[in-house]
């Protein structure tokens, strides 16, 4: 995952971007996660009702989709690499980018995985949109699920904090440093 110097995607003019599939996955996953967090916070605070059940089902199903997309995205990252970081970036920023990107990948796996594992332990079945059964073989009921849900919450909050810093850093590069960091992750103009 640290192969930032590998040639990735294609060259448009002099700008080396992420590959199309990586750009698409980055923004689709980000969009779903931006929806998942408020839905998670709301559904756990509502009284039981049909709406609450609907929100739980959507939360679990889109969470499973995030998990699948992240696995594909990590495979794509190993195969396609990434465009080089901006030249002349100070060493601390290079380290910060590597560490935070790695941590975001780890959290993008752990957040849905803990939700999936805990729900399987306490509250089977876990279905994808009411249909395809995807319950993990984990027993133990609420005693097992409780600590895993706690991890689910902690990892989610850590991911949200890191995403905020990540987004601010991207906007800082774009508007203040005026470099190509953000453009490398933007869809190509037709």
Residues that bind ligand HEM (CB under 6 A): 26, 30, 33, 36-37, 40-41, 44, 59-60, 63-64, 66, 77, 82, 85, 97, 101, 104-105, 108, 111-112, 115-116, 119, 126, 149, 152-153, 156, 163, 166-167, 170-171, 181-182, 184-185
Which CB, 44 or 90, lies closer to ligand HEM?
Answer: 44
**Residue 113 beta carbon to ligand HEM: minimum distance, rounded to whole angstroms:** 8
Rounded CA separation 94/5 (Å) = 12
The least distance separating ligand HEM from the CB of residue 101, rounded to whole angstroms, comes to 4
Residue 25: C-alpha distances to residues 136, 161, 176 (Å): 25, 21, 26
153-165 residues labelled b (16+ CB within 10 A) or e (exposed): eebbebbeebbee
3-state DSSP percent of the chain in helix, strand and coil, to 5: 65, 5, 30
**Within its chain, how far is the Cα of 51 from the centroid?**
26
Nearer to ligand HEM, 13 or 126 (CB): 126
Least CB distance to ligand HEM at residue 154 (A): 10
Nearer to ligand HEM, 69 or 190 (CB): 69
Q: How far is the CB of 20 from ligand HEM (least distance, A)?
A: 14
Gyration radius of the chain's alpha carbons:
19
**Closer of 104 and 177 to ligand HEM (Cβ):** 104
Instruction: Give the nearest distance from C-beta 85 to ligand HEM in angstroms.
Output: 5
Our CB check for ligand HEM shows the closer of 144 and 153 to be: 153
Contacting residues for 31 by C-beta, under 8 A, at least 6 apart: none
Place of tokens 């609420």: 142
């Amino acid at each position: 995952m640290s192969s930032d110097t590998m040639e990735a995607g294609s060259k448009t003019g002099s700008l080396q971007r992420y590959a199309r599939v990586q750009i698409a996955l980055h923004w689709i996953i980000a969009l779903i996660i931006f929806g998942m967090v408020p839905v998670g916070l709301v559904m756990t605070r509502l009284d039981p009702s049909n709406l609450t059940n609907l929100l739980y089902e959507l939360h679990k199903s889109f969470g499973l989709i995030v998990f699948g997309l992240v696995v594909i995205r990590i495979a794509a990252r190993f195969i396609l690499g990434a465009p080089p970081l901006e030249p002349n970036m100070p060493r601390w920023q290079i380290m910060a980018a590597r560490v935070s990107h790695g941590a975001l990948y780890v959290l993008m796996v752990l957040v849905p995985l803990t939700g999936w594992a805990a729900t399987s332990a306490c509250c089977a079945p876990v279905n994808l949109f009411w249909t395809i059964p995807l319950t993990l073989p984990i027993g133990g009921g609420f005693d097992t699920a409780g600590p895993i849900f706690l991890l689910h919450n902690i990892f989610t909050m850590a991911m949200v904090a890191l995403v905020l810093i990540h987004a601010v850093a991207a906007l800082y590069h774009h508007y203040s440093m005026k470099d190509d960091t953000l453009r490398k992750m933007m869809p190509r103009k037709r």
